[in-house]
A and B are shown apart, each in its own frame.
Chain A
Amino acid sequence: MTAIETRVSRVHGLIMVGAVVRGPSGDVEVALALDTGSTETVINPWVIDALGYTVRDGEQITRVRSAIGDEQGYTLRVARFTALGFAHERFRVHVFDLAEGYGIDGLVGLTFLDRLNYEIRSVENLFRASPV
């Protein structure tokens, strides 16, 4: 398969990626930071709320160790997750509050990226990938 190229944007140093997440209420466009240092793909709870999911749809309670201590989140499978030209059905995300003042809806982490062979062309603001 030919590699897919997607335009990304640098905002305040972060590589920002547009994604579309589907839930019972429909699709919501979100702004996620591309983070190869995050093992999980993280979605903030306000997006989960807008999608029509509740914590009762979650699969598993999880804990994340951060600089300010252990914080609780949960995993949930969204109906569809589309980013960087690739879509996955029933995709598992980690629902975790990254703080409202951070200005992002979550992180594209390795649970998504590990399904791709990819390169980030920072100077050109391009993400180039093909599926594994």
Chain B
Amino acid sequence: MLPTPASVAVFADAATAPMSWAEICVAYPDQWVGLVDVDKGSDAPYDVRGARVVSHGASPWEVLRALRPFREHHASVRHLFTGVIRSR
């Protein structure tokens, strides 16, 4: 089972400036975002006060792969979806 190729944008200068979760959803609608320096409100996954975006795109495969080099240097790394969430 191979992932469907999809474009992903990766920021070469490490990350955007810190943004609130609401700002991230507006800037990168209906897609996956790779985040570092996540300011967590709690352990709940979408309880994010703010973060820096390092990758974004329609494919979670590519967004996660783009996050790989950041895991070594950033303790708080997360990937989330900015669109409507459903389970089936």
Chain A residues engaging chain B, CB cutoff 8 angstroms: 6-9, 11-12, 14, 16-18, 25-26, 28-33, 35, 44-47, 49-50, 55, 66-67, 97-98, 100-105, 107, 125
Contacts and interface: CB of A to CB of B under 8 A. Distances in A.
B88 to A, nearest CB: 8
Interface residues of B, number: 28
B10 interface: no
Given A50-B68, A97-B1, A7 B43 contact: yes
A52 to B, nearest CB: 10
Please classify the interface of chain B as helix (H, G, I), strand (E, B), loop, or mixed, using the class held by over half of its residues: loop
Given A44-B60, A46-B64, A50-B65, A103 B86 contact: yes
Interface of B: 1, 3, 32, 42-47, 58-61, 64-65, 67-68, 71, 77-78, 80-81, 83-88
Contacts of B60: 44, 46, 100, 105
B87 A33 contact: yes
B1 A45 contact: yes
A107 B87 contact: yes
Given A12-B84, A98-B87, A102-B86, A7 B47 contact: yes
A16 B84 contact: no
Given A44-B60, A50-B68, A100-B59, A14 B86 contact: yes
Please classify the interface of chain A as helix (H, G, I), strand (E, B), loop, or mixed, using the class held by over half of its residues: mixed
Contacts, number: 89
Given A14-B86, A16-B85, A102-B87, A50 B64 contact: yes
Contacts of A11: 46, 85
Contacts of A45: 1, 3
Contacts of A50: 64-65, 67-68
Q: Which 6 A-B pairs have the closest CB atoms?
A: A103-B81, A31-B45, A9-B44, A103-B85, A50-B64, A18-B45
